[in-house]
Every structure is written in structure tokens, then in C-alpha cells.
């Protein structure tokens, strides 16, 4: 507390008695401050102060990279790496000990991209292919023959790669439908958040949503979440027969009760605000084990998922990695904006491959 103890008008001085008390009501600082009092009122222009936001001092992704390095690198089939940023991204991931790249595409264009990136690619295997379609076919064939443990989209278009991946006899299809899981480090959320599906299944039917959900649960367990909490999102919190996503959400929760989906704690339908904010959910009388603590958000369709991910990236400053789940090998599909996030995606792929191998092939999980 500060108290004006004495005035000295002849010298325009004011003596203030100052005292600081801690939470135990103990005096920790005390003393006097002599201040020169102004003889006339001082006015200064209002200063616009910068906005300050408190953020975590660490990345939630760092642990994934550490764990992946201990497991070991995957052979990566990189499709048409004909842009400098793609070359840079795979070189960083290789230096981190996460991938052994196989560059597949037009040799001259790949070397030109490497020259622009100022990176020596002579250490990497390079398969010269005339066009993108051939590079895609070769990468998928290598994955099918266990010569590659991961595919990186590189310079191919998403649509072209997806068409090839979804071919029944020559693609990457397995028992479950494929889906894409984005993993977000959102500064305003306490833990990593998995959002699915944001790339592949445009308007999934209930059977496909079951696969999307199960893929995400297995993936979350691969990241170390023993019982992931899964929020099935919709535009309403109650079942509305004119809104199919609410009916599907309720059905998915019942499927989990009956063992058709396993390993997670599901609830839905839920709206985005009720999932993220405990206060909002309580104000609406919604009680759920996933509100304010969800690990996975299952979106009603790709369009919604893609919009939510981009909103969080550009409005909430999230950092996003991710990969295709449910395929014969993980596939990195997203456009490379941040080369370091591509490294994170490679780490996620390693963790997922290791988990699936231990769970489904060795039975050790």
C-alpha cells in the first residue's frame, strides 16, 4: 500500500510511505519515496499498447519426435519432389533420423529443385520416372511389396494420389476405410487435438464413420493416449432426424457400447463450443466425460473438418501435422508449408506403424 505521508509545498515534494505485504500478511518491502509533484496538470497522448498473449514455451510435438527416433527410420517413397521446399523437408526429416528417402520422379526436375534448395541429394536413392502418374504407381507398388514404409505426396496432386490409393487391387486399401487425421498443437488447448476426417471421405456413411473413428482411436493410442476421449461433432447437441450427422453420432456411441468401436470413450452429438468449453456445456446442462478434455474430434464430413482445421491454424495459431490412416502404409498428404511440421508428420507415421505392428501382428499392446 502507498500512503501520502508528508507534503513539502515550498519544494513541490510529496513523501509517500510504501509497504508490500505477502499472502501471509508479512511485510516484505517497506520504505519511503520522495516524488517531485508537477505544478500543473500533465497531459500525454494515449499510447496504443501491443497485444500480449501467453503461450506454452514448448511444442506438444517434441515428444513424438523423441519417441520416433528411438524406434527408427522408415523408407519413404517421395513422389515427384520437384520443388525446393519438398527437398528441404525430406532432407530435414532424414537428418532427424526419421526417414530414408527414395526420390521418385523426373530426374532433371528433382536435381533442379535440389540445386535451388542448395541440398546435395546424391546420398539418396533416385528412381527416374517420366511423369507424376508413373511416380505414384511406383510408390504404391513399393508400399505393396514392403519396399517403402511411408509415402510422401510431394509434387503430386491430392486427387491424383487418392484415386490411385483407392484402387481395390492395385491401391493401398486395407480392411478399414482410409481416413486423414490432422494433429493440432493449439496454443489455447491443453493437449494435442486430433481432428478427422479432413481429406478423404467427403460425405461418409455410418459404416465409414465407424472406420474413421476406429482409425483415430488406434492412432491416439499410438501417440500414448490409453483411453482417448472422442467427441462426435454435429450442428446440434440433440438428435434431429433432419440432420443426419446427429443420428450418426448417436449410432456411433451405441456401436461403442456394443463393442463395434473399441478403445475410446465416445459421446455425441456435440457442438464444437460444448466440446471445447466446459463453461458453455454446463450452461446448457450438458454433462459428458469428453467436454473440455477431448482428444479426438470426429467431423460430420470433410468440408467441415477442413474448415475447422484452417480456422484453428489462422485464427488460433495452431501448428498442424497429420497423415492418412487405415492404408497399407501411412501417407503424408498435406501441402508442405512448414518443413518442420513435415518432420513431425514423419514421426507420427513411425509411431503409428510401430503401434499397429505390435497390436495387430505381434499382439503386444
pLDDT band at 56 (very low <50, low <70, confident <90, very high): confident
Residue 223: inside a domain: yes
Q: In this structure, is residue 111 part of a structural domain? A: no
In a domain, residue 16? The reply is yes
Which range of residues forms the domain containing residue 317? 177-326
Q: Is residue 339 part of a domain?
A: no
Mean pLDDT (the chain, rounded): 92
Alpha-carbon separation of residue 181 from 75, 146, 285, 302, 320 (angstroms)? 21, 23, 30, 11, 10
- Band (pLDDT 50/70/90 cuts) for residue 58 is confident
Number of domains in the chain: 2
Q: What is the pLDDT of residues 249-303, one digit of tens each?
A: 999 999 999 999 999 999 999 999 999 988 888 888 888 999 989 999 999 999 9
Q: How far is CA 270 from CA 193, 219, 294, 346, in A?
A: 16, 22, 11, 31
User: Does 3 score more than 70 pLDDT?
Assistant: yes
189 located within any domain: yes
pLDDT in tens, 189-221: 989 999 999 999 999 999 999 999 999 999 999
Q: How confident is the model at residue 365 (pLDDT cuts 50, 70, 90)?
A: low
Confidence class for position 121, pLDDT limits 50, 70, 90? very high
Do the domain assignments include residue 254? Answer: yes
Alpha helices (runs of H) in the chain, residue ranges in sequence order? 62-71, 84-95, 107-117, 132-144, 158-165, 206-222, 244-257, 272-276, 278-283, 302-315, 339-356
pLDDT at 362 over 90: no
Last-in-domain residue among 293, 308, 326: 326
Q: Within a domain: residue 198? A: yes
The verdict on residue 117 lying in a domain is: no
% of the chain exceeding 90 in pLDDT = 77
CATH of the domain at 209: 3.40.718.10
Amino acid at each position: 500500500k502507498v500512503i501520502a505521508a508528508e507534503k513539502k509545498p515550498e519544494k513541490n515534494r510529496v513523501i509517500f510511505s510504501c509497504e508490500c505485504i505477502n499472502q501471509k500478511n508479512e511485510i516484505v518491502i517497506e520504505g519511503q519515496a520522495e516524488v517531485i509533484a508537477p505544478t500543473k496538470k500533465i497531459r500525454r497522448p494515449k499510447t496504443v499498447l501491443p497485444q500480449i498473449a501467453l503461450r506454452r514455451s514448448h511444442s506438444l510435438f517434441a515428444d513424438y519426435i523423441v519417441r520416433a527416433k528411438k524406434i527408427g527410420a522408415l523408407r519413404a517413397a517421395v513422389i515427384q519432389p520437384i520443388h525446393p521446399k519438398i527437398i528441404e523437408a525430406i532432407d530435414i526429416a532424414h537428418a532427424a533420423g526419421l526417414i530414408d528417402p527414395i526420390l521418385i520422379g523426373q530426374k532433371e526436375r528433382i536435381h533442379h529443385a535440389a540445386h535451388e534448395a542448395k541440398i546435395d541429394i546424391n546420398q539418396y536413392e533416385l528412381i527416374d520416372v517420366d511423369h507424376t502418374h508413373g511416380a505414384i504407381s511406383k510408390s504404391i507398388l513399393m508400399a505393396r511389396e514392403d519396399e517403402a514404409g511411408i509415402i510422401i505426396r510431394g509434387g503430386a496432386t491430392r486427387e491424383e494420389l487418392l484415386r490411385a490409393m483407392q484402387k481395390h487391387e492395385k491401391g493401398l486399401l486395407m480392411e478399414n476405410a482410409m481416413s486423414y487425421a490432422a494433429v493440432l498443437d493449439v496454443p489455447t488447448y491443453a493437449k494435442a487435438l486430433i481432428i478427422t476426417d479432413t481429406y478423404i471421405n467427403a460425405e461418409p456413411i455410418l459404416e465409414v464413420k465407424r472406420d474413421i473413428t476406429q482409425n483415430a482411436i488406434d492412432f491416439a493410442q499410438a501417440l500414448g493416449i490409453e483411453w482417448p476421449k472422442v467427441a462426435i461433432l454435429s450442428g446440434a447437441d440433440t438428435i434431429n432426424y433432419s440432420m443426419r450427422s446427429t443420428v450418426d453420432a448417436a449410432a456411433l456411441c451405441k456401436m461403442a457400447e456394443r463393442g463395434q468401436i473399441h478403445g475410446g470413450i465416445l459421446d455425441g452429438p456435440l457442438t464444437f463450443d460444448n466440446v471445447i468449453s466446459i463453461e458453455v456445456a454446463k450452461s446448457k446442462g450438458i454433462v459428458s466425460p469428453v467436454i473440455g478434455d477431448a482428444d479426438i474430434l470426429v467431423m460430420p464430413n470433410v468440408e467441415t473438418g477442413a474448415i475447422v482445421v484452417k480456422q484453428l491454424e489462422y485464427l488460433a495459431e495452431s501448428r498442424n501435422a497429420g497423415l492418412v490412416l487405415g492404408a497399407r502404409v501411412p501417407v503424408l498428404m498435406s501441402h508442405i508449408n512448414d518443413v518442420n511440421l513435415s518432420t513431425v508428420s514423419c514421426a507420427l507415421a513411425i509411431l503409428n506403424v510401430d503401434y499397429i505392428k505390435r497390436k495387430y501382428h505381434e499382439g503386444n499392446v
